[in-house]
Amino acid sequence: MLKGKKIIVGISGGIAAYKICSLVRLLIRSGAEVKVIMTPSAVKFVSPLTLSVLSKNEVVINMFDEADPAKAESVKAGTWHITNGLWADLFVIAPATANTIAKINAGITDNFLLSAVLAARCPVCLVPTMDEDMYRNKITQRNISDLKKYGYRILDPVVGELASGLYGPGKMPEPEDILEFVNGQFVEKDLKGKKILVTAGPTVQPIDSVRYLSNYSSGKMGFEIARAAQERGAEVTLITGPVNLNGIKGVNRIDVNTSEEMFEAVKKNVKGCNLVVMSAAVSDFKPKKVAKGKIKKENAGLSIELEKTDDILKHLGKNKRGYKLFGFALETDNQIENAKRKLKEKNLDLIVLNDPNVKGAGFGTDTNVITLIDKRSVSELPLMTKYEAANRILDAYSGK
Ligand code: CTP
């Protein structure tokens, strides 16, 4: 996503500055071109040489060469902020200290980073990072809120252990999270104003108090759909069975265990939705009776009687009210034929077909091979990441 994007990374003087080496590396790996500007105090926390090697560019710190103001470099530096303010697609300041935030809000340009911010024509992102009391201080809060009004994009600090030993908000998000935020800045918000419900993961159906029936679903596909929809501006609710995945910032996550709990949560949250994507691998069967306590070996029969669970997708298709409905089909034989039948029977607008036996597809992987089928067309897509696949599924809704 960042291929060819030009990004200025500004670093102000906080202990978290050392983590920006990883951010620069991640940006470069994602295909971005990176130029780094540091404030003179940032240099005390992390080496400009390291950042220069990682960014593959000279790091700019001072406006003029103090020792020799007539030197050619100083002339270049004297206009660097103007030329690069035009060059950049995005400006990210991390860590953004209370001092830097206050000075940006006041229009002060007494270091080179501040001059470059004022000259930038591109969007500017700030990652406020400081001690808890400085962050909570009304002046800092007023500065952040003013800057938001001016269109600055803020990635809030996280709660955690701070350099002072205090525990609270003010900690810089990890470089991976900043990268995700940066990625999000380049995404077209074509789903703004849309309410999307996504289900993900497996469901578990108890046999007794310690055993259950389930499947291998990791939830990754559904989580990527929720992430992509949120990035594209939608209001997203994600109902998930038990998975080993972190929540997604800005997504309302509801955790459930059984298919009955998922059904209840879906019914509760479907009202007002524009799109429902049922990517959960809902158990098709459940034990007819759930034993109290743990079934003892000697008491157990050789079989567990099963009954069908309610088909959530079918219910949503039958009672469609103002939303588009996307389902998934996991097929190993007569795939297109079976998927087309499900599309019709369940009154879907789109069915996403996947074959778990294809290399790179199915449960647990980060990639998938999917075919999108609607009433009019069948599009077989090549192997791609689940994030890319999620975007292609959402494109089918937005008409991109
Ligand atoms: N699904 C559902 N409720 C169930 C079972 C499945 O909502 N109790 C949804 C899944 O979320 C998925 C779709 O139905 O979107 C397809 O599930 P799949 O198991 O492939 O198909 P089934 O219709 O259950 O039929 P079969 O297992 O016989 O292929």
- For the chain, the structural domain boundaries read 6-184, 195-398
Task: Kindly give the confidence (pLDDT) of every residue in the chain, 400 residues in length, as a single tens digit, with 9 standing for 90 and above.
Answer: 799 999 999 999 999 999 999 999 999 999 999 999 999 999 999 999 999 999 999 999 987 666 555 555 555 556 777 888 889 999 999 999 999 999 999 999 999 999 999 999 999 999 999 999 999 999 999 999 999 999 999 999 999 888 888 888 999 999 999 998 999 999 999 999 999 999 999 999 999 999 999 999 999 999 999 999 999 999 999 999 999 999 998 999 999 999 999 999 999 999 999 999 999 999 999 999 999 999 888 765 668 899 999 999 999 999 999 999 999 999 889 999 999 999 999 999 999 999 888 888 878 888 999 999 999 999 999 999 999 999 999 999 998 7
Shortest-distance atom of ligand 1 to CA 309 = 8
Counting ligand 1 atoms within 8 A of each CB, the residue from 217, 279, 282, 307 with the most, and so the one to mutate, is 282
Shortest-distance atom of ligand 1 to CA 314 = 7
Q: What is the amino acid identity at position 65?
A: D
| Cα-to-centroid distance, 282 and ligand 1 (Å) | 7
CB atoms within 10 A of CB 71: 12
The model's pTM is 0.81
With a Cβ cut-off of 6 Å, ligand 1 is lined by 259, 278, 280, 282, 284, 309, 311-313, 327-330, 342
How far is the C-alpha of 283 from the C-alpha of 271, rounded, in Å?
A: 24
pLDDT at position 65 = 62
Name the CATH superfamily for 195-398.
CoaB-like (3.40.50.10300)
Q: Are strands 378-380 and 370-373 parallel, antiparallel or unpaired?
A: antiparallel
Write the Ramachandran bin of 165: left for phi over 0, alpha for psi from -120 to 50, otherwise beta.
left
Report the Cα 235 to chain-centroid distance in Å. Answer: 13
| Cα-to-centroid distance, 290 and ligand 1 (Å) | 22
Q: What is the amino acid identity at position 72?
A: A
How far is the C-alpha of 236 from the C-alpha of 273, rounded, in Å?
A: 9
Tell me, yes or no, if 338 is annotated catalytic: no
Whether 195-398 and 6-184 are alike in CATH topology: the answer is yes
pLDDT at position 394 = 98
How far is the C-alpha of 276 from the C-alpha of 290, rounded, in Å?
A: 31
How far is the C-alpha of 21 from the C-alpha of 276, rounded, in Å?
A: 40
Among the options 215, 252, 257, 347, which is catalytic?
215
Counting ligand 1 atoms within 8 A of each CB, the residue from 199, 258, 261, 284 with the most, and so the one to mutate, is 284
How far is the C-alpha of 178 from the C-alpha of 249, rounded, in Å?
A: 12
Q: Are strands 306-308 and 324-330 parallel, antiparallel or unpaired?
A: unpaired
H or E element in which residue 314 lies = helix 312-318
pLDDT at position 298 = 79
Spatial CA neighbour of 250 closest among 203, 202, 191: 191
- Dihedral of the CA atoms 380, 276, 220, 211 (nearest 10)? -120
Contact predicate 296/367, CB 8 Å:
no
Q: What is the amino acid identity at position 41?
A: S
Contact predicate 385/400, CB 8 Å:
no
- Dihedral of the CA atoms 179, 182, 187, 193 (nearest 10)? 100
Buried b / exposed e across 255-278, counting CB within 10 Å, b at 16+?
ebbbbebbbebbeebbeebbbbbb
Angle 138-149/98-106 helices, nearest 10 degrees? 50
pLDDT at position 66 = 62
pLDDT at position 95 = 98
CB-based burial of residue 236 (10 Å sphere; 0-12 exposed, 13-18 middle, 19+ buried)? buried
Shortest-distance atom of ligand 1 to CA 328 = 15
Counting ligand 1 atoms within 8 A of each CB, the residue from 311, 314, 331, 373 with the most, and so the one to mutate, is 311
pLDDT at position 166 = 85
Q: Are strands 158-161 and 167-171 parallel, antiparallel or unpaired?
A: antiparallel
pLDDT at position 64 = 67
Q: Please give the CATH topology (third level) of the domain spanning 6-184.
A: Rossmann fold (3.40.50)
